[in-house]
A and B are shown apart, each in its own frame.
Chain A
Amino acid sequence: MAFTSAVITFPGSNCDRDMAVALEKVSGTAPHRVWHGDSELPEGLDFIAVPGGFSYGDYLRCGAIASRSPIMQAVIAAADKGVPVLGVCNGFQVLTESGLLPGALLRNAGLNFVCREVGLEVVNAQSLFTNAYEAGQVVRIPVAHHDGNYFADDETLNRLEGEGRVAFRYAEEVNGSARSIAGVLNDAGNVLGMMPHPERAIETTHGGTDGRGLFESAIRGLVGA
């Protein structure tokens, strides 16, 4: 069974091609490419990716304008029906701004743009997106962001931790994120937002393949091994 996926592109997205290549390499099927002004998604999607970049020039707040674009209304409707949605970097910001994920991404505590490979602890290895990893495993995945400092109030943070919705934590200090959170799941477990870029770590020529597990998890879970 073919894996049917879509990558959303906003004006200013710059990781959409990398995401599309990663999905194609791991699943064997090229994803649909969907433009922000479209109001409908292709039918029968197994997976939607909201990629990184600087959508709408980061105007207003990172991800704010993109989250109100026509296609995001379709993505929100699809997520509500259970379609898996992955948001990476700016895509994570878009998902928090759209209300699909709790919290917000603030300017990095150190004010610097952080662009390097970091250690990530897999906290929840049972989710749709992380089941190819082991719980507690530390993987190496690149980050590249200026606004990745995860914020939510204590009550929300306690709930996320209590419900196993923290997918990844930084294994080192990166950006000041509350409780070192690098990636969170929604209540139903079908939406994941994360600042690190798994699509930049899928081939040995990338310097590492630790990001592959994320796509393998999703593809295996959705269309069978």
Chain B
Amino acid sequence: MKVRVHVSLKPGVLDPQGRAIHHSLEGLGFSGVNDVRAGRLFELDVAESVTDEAIDDMCRKLLANMVIENYRIEKVAA
């Protein structure tokens, strides 16, 4: 089973990397970009026996830092 975990900074947490990327996009001449937030994507290949609770636990214990980040789990059809 393929699982994607999207990790993003919580609203309100400063994202200097996103800001730098935003700045760079503007430098390339792309207009109309209001904001950029950088995040992270994990693709996990897990056994069918792995429960949703276990995946949630993986996110909370390691993949995301709950102080500053949110996560979203997406199951991908094979």
Q: Chain A: residues with CB nearer than 8 A to chain B?
A: 60-61, 64, 68, 96-97, 102-104, 106-111, 149, 151-152, 176
Tell me the complex Cα distance, A108–B67, Å: 17
Shortest C-beta distance, A208 to chain B (Å), equals 30
Q: Chain B: residues with CB nearer than 8 A to chain A?
A: 13-14, 16-17, 20, 61-63, 65, 67-68
Shortest C-beta distance, B58 to chain A (Å), equals 11
Known contacts A60-B62, A64-B62, A68-B62; decide if A152 and B14 are in contact (CB<8 Å): no
- Extra contacts, 10 of them, besides A107-B16, A111-B16, A111-B20 (Cβ < 8 A), are A60-B63, A64-B65, A104-B67, A104-B68, A106-B16, A107-B17, A109-B16, A149-B14, A151-B14, A152-B67
Query: Hey, which chain A residues are within 8 Å of B68, CB to CB?
Result: 104, 106, 151
Shortest C-beta distance, B16 to chain A (Å), equals 5
8 A-B residue pairs with Cβ-Cβ distance under 8 Å, sorted by A, are: A68-B62, A97-B65, A106-B68, A107-B16, A111-B16, A149-B14, A149-B16, A176-B16
Contact B67 A96 (CB under 8 A): yes
The B interface is mostly helix, strand or loop, or mixed, namely helix
Contact A109 B14 (CB under 8 A): yes
Shortest C-beta distance, A59 to chain B (Å), equals 11
Tell me the complex Cα distance, A125–B13, Å: 30
Query: Hey, which chain A residues are within 8 Å of B20, CB to CB?
Result: 111
Of A64, A103, A106, A152, the most chain B CB neighbours within 10 A belong to A106
Contact B13 A106 (CB under 8 A): yes
- Which of B14, B63, B65 is within 8 Å of A176, CB to CB? B14
Query: Hey, which chain A residues are within 8 Å of B16, CB to CB?
Result: 106-111, 149, 176
Query: Hey, which chain B residues are within 8 Å of A110, CB to CB?
Result: 16
Query: Hey, which chain B residues are within 8 Å of A104, CB to CB?
Result: 65, 67-68
Contact B67 A103 (CB under 8 A): yes
Query: Hey, which chain B residues are within 8 Å of A97, CB to CB?
Result: 65
Tell me the complex Cα distance, A103–B13, Å: 12
Shortest C-beta distance, B35 to chain A (Å), equals 17
Tell me the complex Cα distance, A106–B17, Å: 10
Query: Hey, which chain A residues are within 8 Å of B62, CB to CB?
Result: 60, 64, 68
Query: Hey, which chain A residues are within 8 Å of B61, CB to CB?
Result: 68
Q: Output the nearest chain A residue to B42 by Cβ-Cβ distance.
A: A60
Q: Output the nearest chain B residue to A96 by Cβ-Cβ distance.
A: B67
Tell me the complex Cα distance, A7–B67, Å: 27
Tell me the complex Cα distance, A152–B20, Å: 22
Contact A61 B65 (CB under 8 A): yes
Q: Output the nearest chain B residue to A112 by Cβ-Cβ distance.
A: B16
Query: Hey, which chain A residues are within 8 Å of B65, CB to CB?
Result: 61, 64, 97, 104
